Structure formats: structure tokens, C-alpha cells
Amino acid sequence: MSAPESTSPPIISLTRLSKFYGNTVGIQDISFDVAPGEVLGFLGPNGAGKTTAMRVLVGLIHATSGSASVLGSDALNFDSQLRSEIGYLPGTLELYRQMSGQDFLNFLAQMRQRDCTNQFNSLAERLEVDLTKKLSDLSKGNRQKIGVIQAFMHDPKVLILDEPTSGLDPLVQREFELILNESRERGAGVLLSSHVLSEVEHLADRVAVLDKGKLLAVEKISTLKSRATRTLDLTFIQQVTQDVFSRVPGVEHVSIRGGQVTCEVVGTETELLKVAVEHGVVNVCSREVSLNDVFISLVENGVSQ
């Protein structure tokens, strides 16, 4: 999955956006764009500032400094009409529990002054949720489905989804992915936060990694992975010595057991492979780098973009 190389104006654009709660940093100097048809994964540990940035964009909290635009309009002046193009799913989802799913979605559609009946019925069918039940009688997962439906039901051009798949089972997650892709194909820009890294890896074109309110990286996942420490297992017929490999540029750690050498390498592997060939390597095995590894290494090392 690659990032769209779009020249159209961004759907969401943040420039040095900051939010402080007194002296506490919510987010600080966050800048990134989300292009039409792009899903930007928003990653970070709990309290990193993902929710803060999303709530600024939908006008729930005021930014301290910086600027943000949605569909080319200033998102910080609380223009309520701009929100008609936004589908927002809050991270802490609370619904009007005394209503049925149908009444709740109808209420939101009326507040949007749109008739979304066909859309929400179709989405409910796809996500397999019963709209006739009172929301208080639904399980957490089913309430989350209602949250997803209300975010998508008006075919928004902008989707701001805070942990959208939280509580959804794998089959429903698969359907969610299809729904998300349909929006993306329509040209919607999506900002999606998640703590399930494999999911972001699957859904997102690029990721923005946040920690303690600061942006550590905004990259394509493949680029991030290439910058991460990778592990190579090399097998030799004859004994080799450790210093042969530890001197190779990019190699950070070497361990040797007999003819079995394990190297941790950052950046290009070319030099290491050359040396390995010179010493008669018979097998090379590169361990898959997960986004998880990248994420942990970014947060631990605080690598700046």
C-alpha cells in the first residue's frame, strides 16, 4: 500500500499546532498533511496527544498556537458548517443509551439536516448490528459499530477516527476496512488512531508517530521500517570472528555461536552482505521488521523526523 502521490490540496493540514493545558503539554508543534484518498495512521502511547489533536480538529478544544485547516478552511475558528463534511468517532464513545440505534442515528441525521436512513441501514446490515435495540442493551462492540456507522453515514470527505476498531471482532474489522477503503476511493482523507499497530500497518498509507505531545515521525511505513534496526541471521560453514562484522558500517550488535552469526543492522545491509559473502556465507535470513519494533525504537530513542 503506497501513499498517493497527490498534488491536490490536503484534506487536513496541521502546521505547528500546539495545545497546552496550563503548563502541561497536550501537543506541541505538530505538523502534517492528510491528502485526498489517504489514510494517515496516528500512533503513540496512551497520553501521547493523539486524541488532543483530533479534538482540536473537530472544535471540541481550542488550540494554543499554530494552525490547522480542513478542506482548505481554517479548522480553528469553530466553523460549524465545516463539520458537516467531517465524520468523527470519539475515542471514548458515549451514546444516548435510552435511545434505540435507529432513533439515535436518526437524531444525528436530523442534526446534520440530512436524510441518512439508507446509508445507516446499509452500514448496519454490513456490520451486523440490530438498530431496533436500545443502545443500553447493546454490547460494547455493538455500540462501537453504532459509533462507526454515525461517522460514515453522511459520506464525509474527512474522517477523524479515534481508535475506531476498539472492541470490534476480526470479522467486523474486515468489513470496517472495506468501508474505510470505499471512503478512501471516494477521495476522503482519513486520520485514524489506533494502538493496534498491525491494524495501522494494514490500513494506513503513512503513519504519524507521537510521543509526549511531540511528533517523532511522519513517514510511509516502508520508509520507517527501512530506518529501523533489522536482524539478520547468517550461517557460515567455517568459524568467523566477531570483529569481522562489528566493524561493518550500520552493524550495531553482533552475536556468534559457532557458525551462526546474528547481526542487528540499521540502514543499508549491502556492506554486511559483502563481508558475509567474502567469508563464505551459506544462508542469510532476514527477520521481518514489525511496525511494533519501529514504534518501540522511535519512542524509546525519541528519533525526530
Least separation in angstroms between CB 123 and another protein: 16
User: C-alpha cell of 113?
Assistant: 439536516
- From residue 131, how far is each of 44, 124, 139, 266, 305 by CA, in Å? 34, 7, 13, 51, 45
- The residue among 7 and 92 lying less far from another protein, judged by its C-beta, is 92
- Cβ(52)–Cβ(25) under 8 Å? no
Q: Pick the closer one to another protein by CB: 27 or 197.
A: 27
Alpha-carbon distance of 250 to 254, in angstroms, equals 11
For the CA atoms of the chain, what is the radius of gyration? 23
Query: Of 45 and 90, which has the nearer Cβ to another protein?
Result: 90
Q: Which residues, 6 or more positions from 115, have their beta carbon under 8 angstroms from its beta carbon?
A: 109
Q: How far is the CB of 160 from another protein (least distance, A)?
A: 8
Identify which of residues 82 and 124 has a Cβ nearer to another protein in the complex.
82
Q: How many CB atoms lie within 10 A of CB 113?
A: 7
Closest distance to another protein from the beta carbon of 233 (Å) = 46
CB of residue 209 to another protein, shortest distance in Å: 22
Q: Which CB atom, from 83 or from 214, has the smaller least distance to another protein? A: 83
CB-based burial label for 271 (10 Å; 0-12, 13-18, 19+): middle
Residues that bind another protein (CB under 8 A): 51, 55, 58-62, 78, 80-84, 86, 88, 90-96, 98, 107-108, 110-113, 150
- Say if CB 216 and CB 275 are below 8 A apart: no
| Residue 55 vs 184, nearer CB to another protein | 55
Half-sphere exposure of 47 (CA within 13 A, CB side): 4
Rounded least distance, CB 252 to another protein, Å: 41
Instruction: For the CB of residue 151, give the shortest distance to another protein in the complex, in Å.
Output: 10
Q: Is the dihedral of CA 200, 201, 204, 206 positive or negative?
A: positive
Nearer to another protein, 75 or 204 (CB): 75
- Going 152 to 156 to 157 to 162, the CA torsion angle's sign is negative
Q: Find the shortest distance in angstroms from Cβ 11 to another protein.
A: 17
Contact 156, 189 (CB under 8 A): no
